[in-house]
Structure 1
Amino acid sequence: MRFLSEIMKKTVVDLDGNKIGKFKDFIVSVNILYPLVEAVSIRTSGKKDILVSWEDVDHINKEIKLKVKLEDIKEYNLKKRDIKLVEDVLDKQVVDLEGKKIRRINDLQLSTTRGYYRLIGVDISFKGILRRLGIEKIASSLKINLQEDYISWMDVDVLESDISRLKLKVPEYSLKKLHPADIAEIVDQLSINDSITIINSLDDEVAADALEEISPERQVSLFEEMETKRAADILEEMSPDDAADLIGELSDDRAQELLKLMDPEEAKDVESLLKYPEDTAGGIMTTEFASVKEGLTARETLNALREMAKEVESIYYIYILSNFNSLVGVMSLRELLLADPEQKIAEVMHRDIISVDVMEEEHDVAKKIAKYNLLALPVVKDENKIQGVVTVDDAIDIVLPTAWKKHVPRMFGR
């Protein structure tokens, strides 16, 4: 095994031993899993760059020796999927799937088999930096323990086909397996353009889940630059409260542009939240919740929930409404499952409902959630009509002080 850094400063000589110039780069084609070196880029003594096919390379030892004379070199022509290892890969960023973070490529691993060089991995260790600086042996002599850290080229894929803007990433199918919070952490470390490229490799739902984990400032930067239709599609998959928070931070023109492209019902939910001050229950609530009319049986309620679950991401409680849509009761999923299928839910629901007004201050909402150990709290206005719910995770993320977090149910992993 060899490293690219060991070859980078080598002199190139022709068949007769005449110095041609210095090694500048290796060219590989990314059409195969572990790419072969197809050509060598040489900076000649006359400061001209020439590409020499690997077939014209005899060997690489203390120097790089060619099989042909300088005047007999037939210059290699770059192909569509060719990349330059020094120019396009070295010092670029790669997504480390296992470590779930962005790492810098400090060196490249090359295997030598039957006279051919093949790219097999990237070195992301500090040791790789010292090797390039030529002081790796000094560090070893001082008995400094340097950890090796490599990523197989098999776990790396080209993020963009434009060679001038090549970045690297874990293959798309692997990225989708990460938790949204881990994807968010990766996206947070990339440039805006590369973050958008990562997001565009995900489906709308996964992208929405990941973006909900990103800081508001970063969200705004991404949605201001993202392709408009794609941004609107992702907003539709976000929870209404998160979408409203984001829309509220965008420029007015951009916000209106995205709302017009969203599904009318989804846009209506978001706009209904935007009218409330952000530090009130109405400003932090979500309009996604499960509600049924009080005349239903437990069996009918379960059937209704199955349909609602297609649209409502998290169902903590079932809210029971009167014929006039006033909130008259509440029950948990456990209570519903334990009820006799033919029993009216009005007979088993709780009528002493803990709720808050839409204009209640957000810290008071959080206190109430912590005090009563609730997973969600209904938000009501005129004549006790339910407008939405504030969930415990929103209360924690936005307003809940550290001292109260111990009261929050453990199911949220906090």
Structure 2
Amino acid sequence: MASEAPPLLHLSLIVGCALVDDADARLGKVEDLIVRLGDAGYPPITGFLVSVAKRHSFLPAEAVSDVAQDRVVLGRPRLDLRPFERRPEEVLLKEDMLDRQLINLDGARLVRANEIELARVEGWWRVVGVDVGARGAMRRLLPRVAGRHVGTGQFVDWASVEPFVGHVPSVRLLISHPKLARLHPAQIADLVEAGSHAEGDEIMRAVRAGDTELEADVFEELDDHHQLEFLRERSDAEIAAVLARMAPDDAADVVAELDDARRDAILALLPPNARRKVRMLFGFDPAEAGGLMSTEFVCVYQHATVQEARDRIQRGDVADELLTNVFVMDTHRRLEGSVPVAALLRAEEDTPVAELLTSAAPSLVPDAPLEEVARLMADFNLTAVAVVDDEQRMIGVITVDDVLETMLPKGWRRRFGLLGDG
């Protein structure tokens, strides 16, 4: 038989309640509860901020024998009245977290902590979740007696929550990168865009501290406004480091938004190969095939075998989402067509890739408008299409996600309800 969940204690009803001794004599009032974040599991209450004789003092958790909705019981005969001072990594639940935004990792959205829920777990009172619904907010507005009768609304388990702590003077802890890494880069970018600048910056700093490759992926997903906002605050070297890890087409889009003086300085800091690719893409119109394409693709000669094509894929560093097809060229490097990666997996190792070429494989020139790109990909049911120069040599590839991102309206994720407060 499954054990029942422990009863919840609402923070808003504990804050402001009486501090009493074991004889139920009133000593003062509870002003706030203190936790230390960073450890795995549910954060334990480490102490209480109390006011006694109009003086704020720290009451260590071990001095308390019981916590209830209407009282906190002192378990010691004496009360230490030294003035309260924050210690490193301490967070005040009411002051620092209540009625503030947090990250709900399960929903990949920002939520507001309308109430903080506590329970006795493993022998001590711990933060077990937050109430993000209207009932939590209502409870704080009602008198204490009436508030006790308001049940928990939209409960989010603390295991799915990541708080912002950048505003807390005693805490240097960043948002946990392992938790953020569970999300897709586009979801992290959505969180950055939905939060305040300080909240977005805290997310980006956490990502950068844990995984610079993920930082570049998230940066690619940010809208122009947020990209420029963060670029203004970073040095040229920091920007160049991010751009070097981004896809060349996305990096070129960012470079295009910089003023001329800074653009040249940042381009000079890029690795030579990345600089060459970005400079080439920078010259194309972003609404045409050249501006949409990526220079990352796999292309083999027509006499190559299936196994040789597979080896090229394994040795290369082309992103997975760009590897739907391997492109094939003749001895003059002119594009002959493409072979789906799935076909390479099904074919015998010694089969020439020329035998697997798809018939009537289309291609585009760099100045083809977006409408033509979309029509061609829809007509031929393509997930990727090659872009060639005047000599029919392949210079880039456009994937369907590039087309969709360009065609969808700005802010489409919020417009279609993919972000929210609950």
Q: State the TM-score, normalized to the length of structure 2.
A: 0.77
Describe the shift of the 1:79–1:290 C-alpha distance in structure 2 as closer, same or farther (beyond 3 A): same
Per the alignment, residue 405 of structure 1 pairs with none
The residue type equivalent to 1:127 in the other structure is R
Per the alignment, residue 17 of structure 2 pairs with 10
In structure 1, C-alpha distance between the alignment counterparts of 2:129 and 2:286, rounded to whole Å: 49
Describe the shift of the 1:337–1:25 C-alpha distance in structure 2 as closer, same or farther (beyond 3 A): closer
Pairing 1:28–2:35 present: yes
Per the alignment, residue 122 of structure 1 pairs with 130
The residue type equivalent to 2:37 in the other structure is V
Deviation at 1:25, TM superposition (A): 1.8
In structure 1, C-alpha distance between the alignment counterparts of 2:120 and 2:382, rounded to whole Å: 63
Q: Deviations over 1:32-72 (max 9, x none)?
A: 544443433234665x53334445557667555655678x6
The correspondence for 2:191, drawn from 186, 210, 229, is: 186
Per the alignment, residue 295 of structure 2 pairs with 287
Per the alignment, residue 311 of structure 1 pairs with 318
Per the alignment, residue 416 of structure 2 pairs with none
In structure 1, C-alpha distance between the alignment counterparts of 2:189 and 2:153, rounded to whole Å: 27
Describe the shift of the 1:186–1:137 C-alpha distance in structure 2 as closer, same or farther (beyond 3 A): farther
The residue type equivalent to 1:29 in the other structure is R
Per the alignment, residue 420 of structure 2 pairs with none
In structure 2, C-alpha distance between the alignment counterparts of 1:45 and 1:349, rounded to whole Å: 85
In structure 2, C-alpha distance between the alignment counterparts of 1:341 and 1:58, rounded to whole Å: 73
In structure 1, C-alpha distance between the alignment counterparts of 2:88 and 2:280, rounded to whole Å: 50
Deviation at 1:236, TM superposition (A): 3.1
The residue type equivalent to 1:102 in the other structure is L
Per the alignment, residue 51 of structure 1 pairs with 58
Matches within 5 A, 1:128-167: 128-134=136-142, 148-156=153-161, 160=165, 163-164=168-169
Pairing 1:364–2:369 present: no
Describe the shift of the 1:178–1:57 C-alpha distance in structure 2 as closer, same or farther (beyond 3 A): closer
Q: State the TM-score, normalized to the length of structure 1.
A: 0.78
Matches within 5 A, 1:98-109: 98-109=106-117
Deviation at 1:284, TM superposition (A): 0.9
In structure 2, C-alpha distance between the alignment counterparts of 1:153 and 1:400, rounded to whole Å: 35
In structure 1, C-alpha distance between the alignment counterparts of 2:43 and 2:355, rounded to whole Å: 70
Deviation at 1:371, TM superposition (A): 1.8
Which of structures 1 and 2 has the bigger CA Rg?
1
Relative contact order: is structure 1 or structure 2 higher (C-alpha 8 Å, sep ≥ 6)?
A: 2
Q: Deviations over 1:84-103 (max 9, x none)?
A: 22222222222112222111
In structure 2, C-alpha distance between the alignment counterparts of 1:206 and 1:122, rounded to whole Å: 28
In structure 2, C-alpha distance between the alignment counterparts of 1:331 and 1:153, rounded to whole Å: 48
Alpha carbon RMSD of aligned pairs, Å?
A: 3.9
The residue type equivalent to 1:28 in the other structure is V
**Which one is further off, 92-101 or 193-202?**
193-202
Deviation at 1:276, TM superposition (A): 1.0
**Which one is further off, 123-132 or 184-193?**
184-193
Q: Deviations over 1:234-260 (max 9, x none)?
A: 433332222222222234455445434
8 A Cα contact 1:36 1:119, kept in partner? yes
In structure 1, C-alpha distance between the alignment counterparts of 2:345 and 2:124, rounded to whole Å: 67
Gaps of 5+ in 2: 1-7, 410-422
8 A Cα contact 2:35 2:46, kept in partner? yes
**Would you say how many aligned residue pairs link Structure 1 and Structure 2?**
395
Pairing 1:267–2:272 present: no
Per the alignment, residue 242 of structure 1 pairs with 250
The alignment partner of 1:364 has SS state of helix
8 A Cα contact 1:366 1:399, kept in partner? no
Describe the shift of the 1:73–1:204 C-alpha distance in structure 2 as closer, same or farther (beyond 3 A): closer
In structure 1, C-alpha distance between the alignment counterparts of 2:62 and 2:402, rounded to whole Å: 62
In structure 2, C-alpha distance between the alignment counterparts of 1:261 and 1:384, rounded to whole Å: 32
The correspondence for 2:177, drawn from 161, 172, 178, is: 172
8 A Cα contact 2:102 2:164, kept in partner? no
In structure 2, C-alpha distance between the alignment counterparts of 1:375 and 1:31, rounded to whole Å: 43
The residue type equivalent to 2:116 in the other structure is L
The alignment partner of 2:339 has SS state of strand
Q: Deviations over 1:157-205 (max 9, x none)?
A: 5655773286998743232122333323323222332232343254233
